[in-house]
Copies of this chain bind each other. A is one copy, B any other.
Amino acid sequence: MSQLKHRLHEIIFEADSPAGKTFDLLLIVCILASVLVVMLDSVGSYQARFGRVFLTVEWVFTALFTIEYILRLYCVGKPWKYAFSFFGVVDLLSILPTYLSLFIPGTQYLLVIRTLRTIRIWRILKLAQYLHEWDYILKAMRASVRKIVVFLVVVVTLVVILGSAMYMIESEETGFTSIPRSIYWAIVTVTTVGYGDIAPRSDLGQMLAALAMILGYAIIAVPTGIVTVELGQARKEVSTQACPECSREGHDPDAKHCKFCGAQL
């Protein structure tokens, strides 16, 4: 029994053995296929023609994912810990909406929750051994997060004031019907998305908008700079040897002595 559990764990949770790799590959194909079905199901013409097929396929995938979820709960060491982990919740959210659709008629909203199962493909990173790269990006993002928060506070303030000013300057006909909508315009502009559904038409409005864009041109550089510097830092730290005495890492490439205990590297 315990051996079966161990074997299952190896197949389902790990990707080192051939069986584990095959399982992960099959799983990812199933996930992508099921997300594709959800997508196609939302297209009116396909829904009309293949609605029944989609429903059947959806139930087959749900059955498969349910079996997988139960097996995961069964073979994992601490079932509750898995159940409340990020991937545990996502796994549950992948199957729940289909069952709920039996009791709740409006399946519209449940359809959307089903697409959350796309997140499950992040497991592909484990398969392709991209976890190292994932850690690298995550590390840099974590180091950047406080600086980017500061930056965002500044941008939000700027966008609120810019939006309010445009609400005052532009007439309602051009789309600036309220301050929240004007702030929406300001965000669309400063992030250089620029839909054009709302655009200033008065001379003063266009002047202010032009100023905002040129400033935004310089502002867009800040988060890029922050992340680049932290990525550069994270890359340096990745490739360094551990100290032979205190075993701590993070030494510079040109370091000759451990920066923590002073021992020779």
Contact = CB atoms under 8 A, between A and B. Distances in A.
A235 to B, nearest CB: 5
Given A130-B149, A222-B137, A224-B224, A260 B256 contact: yes
A85 interface: no
A209 B137 CA distance: 25
A50 interface: no
B183 A39 contact: yes
Chain copies in the assembly?
Answer: 4
Interface in A153-205: 153-157, 160-161, 163-165, 167-168, 177-181, 183-184, 187-189, 191-197, 199, 201, 203
Nearest to A124: B153
A187 B164 contact: no
Contacts of A256: 259-262
Nearest to A194: B193
A136 interface: yes
A88 interface: no
Interface of A: 35, 38-40, 42-44, 108-109, 111-112, 115-116, 118-119, 121-122, 124-125, 130, 133-134, 136-137, 140-141, 146-157, 160-161, 163-165, 167-168, 177-181, 183-184, 187-189, 191-197, 199, 201, 203, 206-207, 209-210, 213-214, 216-218, 220-233, 235, 248, 250-252, 254-264
A-B CB proximity, top 6 nearest: A257-B262, A195-B196, A255-B259, A193-B194, A225-B228, A221-B227
18 contacts: A39-B183, A42-B178, A43-B178, A44-B177, A108-B168, A121-B157, A180-B203, A180-B206, A187-B214, A188-B194, A189-B193, A220-B224, A221-B224, A224-B228, A254-B260, A256-B262, A257-B257, A259-B259
